[in-house]
Amino acid sequence: MFWSGQHFEFSDIPDMTGKVAIITGSNTGIGKVCAIQMAKKNCHIVVACRNTEKGQKVVDEIKAITGKDDSARCMKLDLLSLAAVKEFADEFTAKYDTLHCLMNNAGVMNCPYGLSKDGLEMQFATNHVAHYYLTMLLLPVLEKSAPSRIVNVSSHAHYMTWVAGINYDTLHDEKCYSRFLHYGKSKAANILFTRELAKRLKDKGVNNVYVNTNHPGAVQTELHRHGNLITRDAVSPFFITPELGALTQLYLATSPDVETKDIKGQYYVPYAKPSTPNYYCRSDKNAKELWDYTEKLLKEKVPGYQGSHL
């Protein structure tokens, strides 16, 4: 897909001195680009990833670029385990008392059927459920640190839900699994979650936590490692670089526009342009249904989970 001209560049990122950001999956791809560019503007970055060896290399690179030993930290986050998500959140809140940006960037795409440690289909578990749970755990500190941002990285692939939507009864059933359709469902969930979270924050009277979602573009990253080799090579000339792919979520994470224009619950596409998701993802009913389903899942899978305070 071809996108119109850039409306945001790295040079537009404001000074972020005193800000703290968590970027999931920032050991590679567009997440790594976001981490480096925000750190260059004096934001302290928590590189949250499962592969801490790769994560530490990014931290070392950030420290070398910025010349500051306190510019970044790597913390282990395994999104295939809800218990591990809780461990990460507990460790973070023990070390930090502020959080100004949570970028839910990590994801898996088109992988063979598999289950998370909690028995959930792997793409939905990683791309939606774990990030939902992480957000709920960190929301108190985000509210305390406001104005703050939450960016949920979605995809144009959410359009695959335009006919069938998400069937929660068969979502984790191997017999009903399609690696492409399930990826699209997980990305639709990112948008529905964004819209419902923004609505609930508003209803609670929280007006300075800005929640938005984006499609980065067709980006040449490790996310495509499960794709068909022939198809992948055929379309790769149309992929954009991770640097270009990072622009839209960097806009939502850093631009003063988000606060001055009161941008909340919106879907943005390259490069930093507002857009409209498909009909299924625009439904308030579908957004609430996903929220209720995810809450029910967490209460089943996480001992002692009392539910969201929203």
Quote the DSSP letter at residue 164: T
**Does the annotation count 183 as an active-site position?**
yes
Q: Are 278 and 162 in contact (CB under 8 A)?
A: yes
Give start and end residues of each alpha helix (H) in the chain. 29-40, 52-66, 82-95, 122-124, 130-144, 179-204, 229-235, 242-245, 247-254, 257-260, 284-301
Q: How far apart are CA 71 and CA 38, in angstroms?
A: 10
Q: How far apart are CA 80 and CA 66, in angstroms?
A: 32
272, 251 in Cβ contact below 8 A? yes
Which of 132, 133, 177, 183 is catalytic? The answer is 183
Return d(Cα 252, Cα 268) in angstroms, integer: 8
Pair of tokens at residue 150 = 């939450």
Residue 131 and residue 152: Cα distance in Å, rounded?
Answer: 8
Q: Which residues are catalytic?
A: 183
